[in-house]
Amino acid sequence: MPRLLALAAPACLTTLLGACVDRQVTSVDTGQDSVEVGVIPANPNRELDVLFVIDNSLSMVEENRSLVANFGRLLAPLRALEGGLPDLRIAVVTPDLGIAPHAYGTCDDRGGDGGRFHGATCAALGGNPFLSDVLGPDGERVRNYTGTLEDAFSCMADVGADGCGFEQHLAAMAKALTPGVNPELLRPDAALAVVIIADEDDCSAADPSMFGSAATLGDFACHREGVVCDDDPDPAAPGPKTGCRPREGARAANVQQFVDGLRALKSDPRRIVVIGIIGDPDEVQIGRDMAGRPAVLATCPEGGLGASEPGIRLASFINAFAPEQRALATLCTSDLAGAMAQAGTLIRQQFGYICLEREPADRNPELDGVQVECSVVQEVGGIETPIPACASAGTTRPCWSIAPDPATCAETPHHLRLQIDRTEAAPAGAYLTIQCVVE
């Protein structure tokens, strides 16, 4: 069962719910309750750089329409921050890198979109390759676009539906963030969020000869080169596959190189968030396409946005990051409202905010009020220091409490936020690990 951190500090909540748990927090068996965990920077700045990698193949029309329609749900938790939106930079790229030296269908031999930002063609951005919306020195927002933020993003995200069907999502991400390819998006101390929306798996190539079979194998060339499954001597054999994972050391690029490359972009890799909205990676079935070639079958049932193939390599990339840095959602839904709200909630943690998704558990029903139990640990340079609850006016600061915050935590049922009361700023580079017992 989940356990709280072993601390020698009181854990009670007085600001909202009343009395204190009358004991010290130790390693606690949570019983039938669960634990919500968050890791947040203690001294976040207000800069956020976001890169969207948006699939522009023919099958993505409905998904892209829903992405644009629900972009505001990603923004909502950020707009609710104290002080409003953080200082934003947002860029969009497609996974179309062509299949040079080959060409097939909509895939050219000239590098496709080349990882270039998809913003300069938008009239609203006035030729700017990415969107910028920051707080100026006079307290007014300084924007490089006209109209609303949602409308500007809608223009950038309109990537079309005629892109290469051999989507190299991870390679396009890496190329887009490589110096010299685009005007510099990344700021040294900004949080970085990468959002990948794709209905097919990553097909990033280490050896472009893997595309030589494009005409005979179609999309299946990506699965054959980039994925390996358990007990599967013939990847083209029809039927379900289990234990599927990225194939390493083959003509497809290793997924880990993109994980390492992204982390290397930040002096503090914990300031990176990765979000995948992809096909279910756990439902892998091989069948035949209309031409009789082997094919990875779509997994979404009727009622979803469209046919989505399992994102095995993409899920592996997302899951390589810590739980507090990642979110994985499926395209097998009627719209992307929930996925975009989840993305915004995850990104919000980079600005020091923890909203409880579930109601705090009552850890001692014999006492009046709800006895909430949390542990909060501040870590600086590998040294951990427990932070006590704000049990009374005389409690040493810093201390924590839970209080209603309907504005910031509007999307959660109970609108409860864990907050830290300080008399002075936290040490540079400090992070807080927060665990609360919930129903």
Q: What is the pLDDT of residue 327?
A: 97
pTM of the model: 0.91
Task: Quote the tokens at residue 95.
Answer: 């996974």
Neighbours of 293 (CB within 10 A): 15
- Whether 4 shows a pLDDT value over 50: the answer reads no
- Whether 82 shows a pLDDT value over 60: the answer reads yes
Domain segments of the chain as ranges: 34-43+353-438, 47-351
- Span between the terminal Cα atoms of the chain, in Å: 14
CB 295 within 8 A of CB 288: yes
Q: What is the pLDDT of residue 130?
A: 97
- The SS3 of residue 361 is coil
Q: What is the pLDDT of residue 275?
A: 98
Query: Which whole-number Å values give the CA distances from 107 to 83, 103, 235, in the listed order?
Result: 45, 5, 24
- Whether 269 shows a pLDDT value over 80: the answer reads yes
With cut-offs at 50, 70 and 90, classify the pLDDT of residue 302. Answer: low
What mean pLDDT comes out for the span 360-370? 86
Contacts 24+ apart (CB under 8 A), 358-362: 358/34, 358/36, 358/413, 358/414, 358/438, 358/439, 359/413, 359/414, 359/416, 359/438, 359/439, 360/13, 360/17, 360/402, 360/416, 360/436, 360/437, 360/438, 360/439, 361/30, 361/33, 361/437, 361/438, 361/439
CB 166 within 8 A of CB 99: yes
Q: What percent of the chain has pLDDT over 90?
A: 76
Helices (H), 36-168: 61-69, 71-79, 149-157
Residue with tokens 């510099």: 184
The larger pLDDT score, comparing residue 102 to residue 219, is at 102
- Whether 40 shows a pLDDT value over 80: the answer reads yes
- In the chain, what's the furthest Cα-to-Cα distance? 75
Identify the bridge partners of residue 192 per DSSP, sorted by sequence position: 49, 272
The larger pLDDT score, comparing residue 161 to residue 130, is at 130
Q: What is the DSSP string of 250-262?
A: SSBPPHHHHHHHH
Report which residue type is found at 296: V
Neighbours of 57 (CB within 10 A): 24
- Whether 9 shows a pLDDT value over 70: the answer reads no
The mean pLDDT value of the chain amounts to: 89
The larger pLDDT score, comparing residue 33 to residue 332, is at 332
- Whether 16 shows a pLDDT value over 50: the answer reads no
Query: Which whole-number Å values give the CA distances from 377 to 39, 116, 171, 270, in the listed order?
Result: 10, 42, 37, 16
Measured distance CA(224)–CA(204) in Å, rounded: 13
Query: Which whole-number Å values give the CA distances from 7 to 11, 57, 362, 387, in the listed order?
Result: 9, 52, 19, 9
- The SS3 of residue 380 is strand
Compute the Cα dihedral for 393, 397, 401, 404 and give only its sign: positive
- Tell me how far the alpha carbon of residue 52 is from its chain's centroid: 10
Query: Which whole-number Å values give the CA distances from 269 to 9, 16, 118, in the listed order?
Result: 30, 35, 26
CB 168 within 8 A of CB 95: yes
Q: What is the pLDDT of residue 304?
A: 64
Strands (E), 202-351: 227-228, 239-241, 245-246, 272-278, 284-288, 294-296, 326-330
Measured distance CA(434)–CA(5) in Å, rounded: 9
- Whether 22 shows a pLDDT value over 70: the answer reads no
- Whether 1 shows a pLDDT value over 50: the answer reads no
With cut-offs at 50, 70 and 90, classify the pLDDT of residue 271. Answer: very high
The larger pLDDT score, comparing residue 14 to residue 117, is at 117
**Phi-psi sector, 188: left (phi>0), alpha (psi -120 to 50), beta:** alpha
What mean pLDDT comes out for the span 120-127? 92
* Topology of domain 47-351, CATH: Rossmann fold (3.40.50)
Residue with tokens 């040079």: 100
CB 399 within 8 A of CB 421: yes
Q: What percent of the chain has pLDDT over 70?
A: 91
pLDDT digits (tens, 9 = 90+) for 391-435: 766 778 999 999 999 999 998 899 999 999 999 999 999 999 999
- Whether 20 shows a pLDDT value over 60: the answer reads no
With cut-offs at 50, 70 and 90, classify the pLDDT of residue 17. Answer: very low
- Whether 21 shows a pLDDT value over 80: the answer reads no
Q: What is the pLDDT of residue 393?
A: 64
